[in-house]
Amino acid sequence: MKELNPSIKHHLVMGFFIALWLFAFAFIIKPFDDGTLNFRSWFFISFGFSVLAFICYSILTVLQKRIYKNFSKWNLSLEIGSILFFFMTYLFGIYTFYKSPILNGGYSFTEFFSIIFIKVALILTPVIILARRYLIKLIPVKDDILLFIGENKLDILKIKKADLVCISNAQNYVEIFYIENGKLHSKLIRSSLKKIFEDFTFLVQIHRSHLINPSHFKSWRNSNTVILTQIELPVSKNYKESILALEFHT
């Protein structure tokens, strides 16, 4: 899977339904019964297993969003790692709960893993995979039109995201460079580079005075200069890692 829905809200809803489904399955089918649990204990183990599933998936939800934000991409390895992380945290969480004074379960860790946890993993894995694939369909379609609005009434620029090359600081203004009819144009807007960076998070900072659209990165001119579409810009030492990471992941 090469995409990820980073929405925490969508994944929390998914975690809630996974918890409900697990509770219903555990309470009705009773696949975890080791012969030592009465009805009260069985209710608590079903409830506890479902709540812990929600908690562990909530932790994964926050973690995967941070990873996605740092890498700006998702792949099959990250997807498999995320699911494995969920099951690892879930395993230790439910075993701790199982051996707590509330349940005082009779299985050892090895028995618990082979008899109980394997069943949990088998019933949860296909549900999680299908649900996560479905969440991709809920990703809103991104508008590829960028609207820059400055402090002055006439400071407005509307361009396609693909046409934006870079943005440079110009004292109390920013200079926006973009492609129009195959040629490089620019427009001054009264704003700050910091505000632009906060408003358009896909931009990459390569210098205290320059932001670039990563899709227009071409190559290095030398160790201190990058070549973009129809323009070259300096790269400061403090931001060089951003370009190196960009080069590695594209």
**Whole-number percent of the chain with pLDDT over 90:** 58
Say what the pLDDT of residue 40 is.
Answer: 73
Residue 119 within a domain: yes
- Do 20 and 95 meet the contact criterion of CB atoms below 8 Å apart? no
Q: How far apart are CA 166 and CA 125, in angstroms?
A: 44
DSSP state of 168: E
From 113, 136, 159, the end of a domain falls on 136
Check whether 65 has a pLDDT greater than 80. Answer: yes
Segment 38-56 shows an average pLDDT of: 85
How many domains are contained in the chain?
A: 2
Q: Are residues 69 and 93 in the same domain?
A: yes
From 80, 105, 136, the end of a domain falls on 136
Say what the pLDDT of residue 32 is.
Answer: 58
From 136, 157, 184, the end of a domain falls on 136
Q: Are residues 20 and 113 in the same domain?
A: yes
Residue 192: CATH number of its domain: 2.40.50.1020
Q: Are strands 145-149 and 183-189 parallel, antiparallel or unpaired?
A: unpaired
Q: How far apart are CA 144 and CA 163, in angstroms?
A: 10
Q: Are residues 240 and 163 in the same domain?
A: yes
DSSP state of 52: H
Residue 170 within a domain: yes
- Do 72 and 34 meet the contact criterion of CB atoms below 8 Å apart? no
Residue 237 within a domain: yes
Three-state SS string over 56-71 comes to HHHHHHHHHHHHHHHH
**Whole-number percent of the chain with pLDDT over 70:** 91
Say what the pLDDT of residue 31 is.
Answer: 60
Q: Are residues 24 and 109 in the same domain?
A: yes
Of 74, 20, 7, 29, nearest in space to 49 by CA: 20
Q: Are residues 36 and 102 in the same domain?
A: yes
Say what the pLDDT of residue 34 is.
Answer: 56
Residue 3 within a domain: no
Instruction: Render pLDDT for 125-161 as a digit per residue (tens, 0 to 9).
Output: 999 999 999 998 887 656 588 999 998 878 899 999 9
Instruction: Render pLDDT for 68-107 as a digit per residue (tens, 0 to 9).
Output: 888 777 889 999 999 999 999 999 999 998 888 877 778 8
- Residue ranges making up the domain that contains 53: 8-136
Q: Are residues 152 and 130 in the same domain?
A: no
* pLDDT confidence band for 230 (50 / 70 / 90): very high
